[in-house]
A = this chain, B = another copy of it.
């Protein structure tokens, strides 16, 4: 894409009321726009990043047998009353509204209830199990405070997968597969080495749930990491009893702030019993379906990547999620030969299937480099007079800062 075509512009300052580094950088670079506290729109570059994250998650969810659907945001009060999750004294972050056609509705905070109800119409026999179903869908949560930028929005994109199994044993097997898929996703997103499986409080059906926590000063959680065992504990469950259970020595634990980038829950039969989701087993006997839920927020992940990988000059995207792989910069300064050379290289790069943002604007070199640092594409390719005269093109790696000279052919192999 030509940068002169892109409508978003960079800016020097983030809005004064924006305190989170991730949102400050993303707003300055033109990736997102702040609508209200905790509410953001995704501009073209931001949407490209989000779509890349979604694509990676989707591939991994399909690999473990996920079937994609998309449920409504509008939620039925009656349904949530049946599981006792409607009342504000039980769940304190609903956005509620009044229907002109009569009654009240909410905007989905999560989707165990509606999906369990859907499954009552599609699951009746052991032959219909297992089912793993997921969606990418905007959740709404009426947060009191929103101070973490796009990492904790009142409206945010979430991938939520739900599993339906015959037995606890089959559920546990899938739960382990989902854990592995989550770890693959964090690796592919470039935050694998900073992300720990973290035990946290469970629910009525299990002692623990598992969170995936990415170490960052911007995190809202405190975790205790055992580096040797490669696992960690959320502060909320750190008791001597728990440590003994995992055979962990308190002395060895390292305290860190961290961002919860995913979580997986055993739900047992909490929802299937309340909403009548049963199946007939081989003997013809009726049993409640065993469920699990598996959450992960693409928008929060985008914020986490910015928090953990950016530097003093701007954002640093891993190749897998960058909106474009290459930032091609023409320093023509009015020189037609340079502009033509850059134009042709841009067309050739596209022909070679390279995803490229082409800074074809007339701005000064200093401005272009500052913008480029802020935008954070993995490779910067610079075309000035020298590139033409001696046939050597400067290629800069955004993450390492390493500069190399390449021939034109080698640039097309980037």
Task: Give residues in A with beta carbon < 8 Å to B.
Answer: 5-9, 11, 30, 33, 35-44, 46-47, 50, 65, 67-76, 92-93, 95-101, 105, 107, 114, 118-119, 121-123, 128, 131, 133, 138, 140, 142-146, 154-155
Contact of A73 among B37, B133, B138 (CB under 8 A): B138
The docked-state distance in angstroms from the alpha carbon of A74 to that of B9 is: 24
Question: With contacts A7-B119, A47-B69, A100-B142 known, what are 12 further pairs, Cβ within 8 A?
Answer: A5-B65, A9-B122, A9-B128, A30-B122, A35-B114, A41-B70, A44-B67, A44-B68, A47-B70, A50-B70, A95-B97, A101-B143
Q: A97-B97, A101-B146 are in contact. Are A35 and B72 (CB under 8 A)?
A: yes
What distance in Å separates the Cβ of A75 from its nearest Cβ neighbour in chain B? 8
A42: B residues at CB distance < 8 A: 69-71
How distant is the Cα of A307 from the Cα of B99 in the complex, in angstroms? Answer: 27
Given contacts A67-B7, A107-B107, A145-B101, contact A76 B114 (CB under 8 A): no
A179 to nearest B CB, angstroms? 22
Q: A67's contact among B6, B69, B114, by CB below 8 Å, is which?
A: B6
Q: Are A36 and B105 in contact (CB-based, < 8 A)?
A: yes
> Bound state CA distance, A97 and B67, in angstroms?
33
Q: Report which of B7, B74, B118 forms a contact with A123, defined as CB distance below 8 A.
A: B7
User: Closest CB of chain B to A368's CB: distance in Å?
Assistant: 16
Residue of B nearest to A30 (CB): B122
> Contacts A7-B122, A72-B41 given: A143-B95 contact, CB under 8 Å?
no
Q: How far is the CA of A8 from the CA of B68 in the complex (A)?
A: 11
**Residues of B contacting A92 in the complex (Cβ-Cβ under 8 angstroms):** 100
Complex CA gap A123/B47 in Å reads 20
| Cβ contact within 8 Å between A72 and B40 | yes
For residue A67, which residue of chain B has the nearest CB? B44
| Contact among B37, B101, B119 for A101, CB-based, below 8 A | B37
Q: A7-B123, A7-B128, A11-B121 are in contact. Are A41 and B114 (CB under 8 A)?
A: yes
Query: Which residues of the partner chain B approach A155 to less than 8 Å between Cβ atoms?
Result: 72-74
Q: Which residue of B lies closest to A41 (CB)?
A: B71
What's the nearest-Cβ distance from chain B to residue A376, in Å? 19
| A367: min CB distance to chain B, Å | 15
Q: List the B side residues contacting A47 at CB < 8 Å.
A: 68-70
B99 lies within 8 A of A142 (CB): yes
Contact A33 B118 (CB under 8 A): yes
What residues of chain B lie closer than 8 Å to A121, measured between beta carbons?
A: 9, 11, 33
B143 touches A100 (CB 8 A): yes
Query: Please, which residue of chain B has its CB at the minimum distance from the CB of A137?
Result: B138
Closest to A127 in B: B4
Chain B residues with Cβ below 8 Å from A6 are 67
Chain B residues within an 8 Å CB radius of A123: 7
- Taking a contact as CB atoms under 8 Å apart, the answer to whether B69 and A44 are in contact is yes
Shortest CB distance A156–B (Å):
10
A44 contact set on B, CB distance < 8 A: 67-69, 133
Q: How far is the CB of A108 from chain B (nearest CB, A)?
A: 10
Residues of B contacting A69 with CB < 8 Å? 41-44, 46-47
Find out whether the CB atom of B133 lies under 8 angstroms from the CB atom of A101. Answer: no
- In Å, the complex CA distance between A96 and B100 comes to 11
Q: In the complex, A95 Cα to B33 Cα: how many Å?
A: 23
CB-CB nearest in chain B for A65: B5
Contact A131 B7 (CB under 8 A): yes
Among A100, A133, A142, the one with the most B-chain Cβ atoms within 10 Å of its Cβ is A100
Cβ distance A164 to chain B, nearest Cβ, rounded Å: 8
When the two chains form their complex, are residues A39 and B74 in contact, meaning their CB atoms are under 8 A apart? yes
User: Can you list 25 residue pairs at the A/B interface with Cβ under 8 Å?
Assistant: A5-B67, A8-B122, A9-B121, A9-B122, A33-B118, A35-B72, A35-B74, A36-B74, A37-B101, A38-B101, A39-B72, A42-B69, A42-B70, A43-B69, A44-B68, A44-B133, A47-B68, A73-B140, A92-B100, A97-B107, A99-B154, A100-B142, A101-B143, A101-B144, A101-B145
